[in-house]
Structure 1
Amino acid sequence: MSEGHSSKAVLIAGPTASGKSALALALALNAGGVVINADSMQVYRDLRIITARPTQDEEARVPHRLYGHVDAAVNFSAGAWVSDATKVLDEVRADGRLPIFVGGTGLYFKAMTAGLSVVPPIPVEVREGVRARLEQNGVEALHAELARRDPRAAERLNLRDRTRIARALEVVEATGRSLLDWHHEGQPPLLPEGSFQAVFLAPERDELYARIDARFDAMLRAGALDEVELLAARGLDPLLPAMKAHGVPALIRHLRGELSLEEAAMIGRADTRHYAKRQFTWFRHQLPQFEWVKPEEARGWLTAAAQAAGKSG
């Protein structure tokens, strides 16, 4: 592999089920690259099937990094991912290979290309106290408390967004400062402008939604329910990110006897479609430097990107 690959990186983003992983694998095979995960749910080792992680066969064909390396009990953050990604990027560049970041988590890509705010670690007792109040008093009461202590943050949050309301309250309680203030002070980007090629796969919506539905059903046939049952048996905090992966809450309700399997699958498919819609909106507004490409045209884009990466050193 040429030393030219040590400077340029390729970023492949897109909504869930748009074919990103297959595209990254093809590029890695052709260009001697390393596939680096940029999906916030595929980091969890407990969730291989329900998050459609690359298969063991695919992982054996080219190096894959940052997949399944975090336990579901961990409240993994974008900051922790950037820290891990920084180490991996250094290793890939030292090997003279092409770094290929692939995933659908917009915040990860924004942190990588625009930097990230640095919030001090929240003491365990503060986090547990906020979550205890959330469970005891409900999200409306917690939002009202946040409105008193950090009205600017409260104004920006949906009244039912349990996770973000709890997070904003934890920060102001632990640091005495608004989460919005911390967002203005942060780390520089991992990949400065000009050091990467970035593509967003943009399938037709109807086609994408059909693929999402078909993939969710395929995941169930592949053992997703058994995987979720093992996760549920751990008795983890339902606010943890891994416990909110698309399909997981509904399948847990099925396991408890609250829903039929088909009802749970319908909810899982619908939640995933809604998430894909939000991904389109987020990337359009937050990451304009990504070039939008139809999946059937992406191979040509990647060929040009690999050539550009090879000439960059």
Structure 2
Amino acid sequence: MTQPVRAGSAEPAALPTALIVAGPTTSGKSALALAIAERFGGTVINADAMQCYRELRVITARPTPEDEARAPHALYGVLPAAQPGHVAWWREAALAEMARSPLPILCGGTGMYLRALTQGLSALPEVAEEARAEARSLLAELGPAGLHARLHAEDAGLRPSDSQRIARAYEVWRSTGRSLVSWQREAPALPPAPYRFRAILIDPPREALRRAIEERWAAMMTGGAVEEVAELLRQGLDPALPAMRAHGVPELAAMLRGEIPEAEASRRAIANTAAYTKRQATWFRHQALVEPRSAHRIDARIAGLEQFSERNNPELFAFLHEAVDAPQHGS
């Protein structure tokens, strides 16, 4: 069932429209974004931090070559695993792709990437190389919880398990003497992107997501995930790199090293992904990407494109027609 959200809000009429399709992993974002792109003539632009990596097509469930042939796609598999992506890089790349599309459709579950477009991006300092090296060394030695304990008190809100953000907070503090949170509280260095954003937020029940995670994992295991991770490991990359922490990679890496059997690797990967989808869903419920009138919620998983019809889902289509058919660029 869909739940349109409406409230008044003023915005410049001349801005072009950009559509966001967001929600937790396995909620059906990619299928919905593709259907919208085909129906309304848009480009699906990746807003998932892990689907940016070239080597991780299977393990991150990137769109298939067949899907990519049905409508334009951008920013999928564009970075080598050895090159860490980050929010400022993604924002700049996304804006370049958006400028080339009559209807940009930003699809993904990395909330901070999407928020960097809709709300702007805070100024963050350059960090010293020695501080970055120290953070990685301590992360390897102490683990994320141990490094978290060394952070400035203002950074206490970071999750002790979020190794990437903890390392980033530590290197910022060592380089500047100020906490990451204090930098982020400053006015955005980059303003909100000049678009009229409309968002479709998919929020299925947890049980539906859990079943979908289990089904997707089984398909990955028969579809080349083990071979993909083995090839990644042959590069000898730093285990702290984001690509090395994509869901399923640490678990299959441990299996390939002979540390755990396949059944345990699968159990851990499914459990870790399920925990992540819970955090994603909570984030999207409490972090407004757009004004309430500009959002449309769907409380069921998009399991098949047969759901994408005006007869089956008139509220969604009314929302899409309002977003896509509204005057743009002052026309």
What TM-score do the two structures reach when normalised by structure 1?
0.89
134-143 vs 220-229, which moves further: 134-143
Letter in structure 1 aligned against 2:153: P
1:204 to partner: Cα distance: 2.4
Gaps of 5+ in 1: none
- The verdict on how the C-alpha distance between 1:140 and 1:16 changes in structure 2, with shifts beyond 3 A counting, is closer
Aligned to 1:152: 154
Letter in structure 2 aligned against 1:189: P
3-state SS of 2:55 partner: helix
- Aligned equivalents of 2:150 and 2:87: distance in 1? 26
Identity over aligned pairs, percent:
45
Aligned to 2:246: 245
1:141 to partner: Cα distance: 5.1
Aligned to 1:184: 185
Aligned to 1:231: 232
- Aligned equivalents of 1:104 and 1:138: distance in 2? 25
250-259 vs 227-236, which moves further: 227-236
Paired positions, count: 300
Aligned to 2:36: 27
Conservation of the 8 A alpha-carbon contact between 1:126 and 1:174: yes
Conservation of the 8 A alpha-carbon contact between 2:24 and 2:277: yes
3-state SS of 1:145 partner: coil
Gaps of 5+ in 2: 1-12
Letter in structure 1 aligned against 2:226: L
3-state SS of 1:50 partner: coil
- Aligned equivalents of 1:182 and 1:287: distance in 2? 21
- Aligned equivalents of 2:100 and 2:205: distance in 1? 37
1:278 to partner: Cα distance: 0.8
Conservation of the 8 A alpha-carbon contact between 1:5 and 1:310: no
**2:321 counterpart (296, 301, 307):** 307
Conservation of the 8 A alpha-carbon contact between 1:31 and 1:306: no
Aligned to 1:278: 279
**Cα deviation 1:245-300 (Å, max 9, x = unaligned):** 11110000000001111110111111111111111100111126443213467653
What TM-score do the two structures reach when normalised by structure 2?
0.84
Aligned to 1:197: 198
Aligned to 1:123: 128
123-132 vs 30-39, which moves further: 123-132
3-state SS of 1:100 partner: strand
Is residue 171 of structure 1 aligned with residue 172 of structure 2? yes
**Cα deviation 1:33-75 (Å, max 9, x = unaligned):** 1111111111111100000000011111111001110111122
Letter in structure 1 aligned against 2:240: L
**Cα deviation 1:214-265 (Å, max 9, x = unaligned):** 0111011100110011111112111111111111100000000011111101
Structure-to-structure mapping, 1:99-118, within 5 angstroms: 99-118=104-123
1:24 to partner: Cα distance: 0.8
263-272 vs 299-308, which moves further: 299-308
- The verdict on how the C-alpha distance between 1:204 and 1:5 changes in structure 2, with shifts beyond 3 A counting, is farther
**Cα deviation 1:130-170 (Å, max 9, x = unaligned):** 22233345555533432xxx2211x2234454333221110
Aligned-CA RMSD value: 2.2
- The verdict on how the C-alpha distance between 1:220 and 1:137 changes in structure 2, with shifts beyond 3 A counting, is closer
- Aligned equivalents of 1:267 and 1:200: distance in 2? 27
- The verdict on how the C-alpha distance between 1:270 and 1:6 changes in structure 2, with shifts beyond 3 A counting, is same
41-50 vs 234-243, which moves further: 234-243
- The verdict on how the C-alpha distance between 1:130 and 1:36 changes in structure 2, with shifts beyond 3 A counting, is same
Letter in structure 1 aligned against 2:321: Q
3-state SS of 2:170 partner: helix
Letter in structure 2 aligned against 1:50: I
3-state SS of 2:104 partner: strand
- Aligned equivalents of 2:255 and 2:319: distance in 1? 45
- The verdict on how the C-alpha distance between 1:104 and 1:136 changes in structure 2, with shifts beyond 3 A counting, is closer
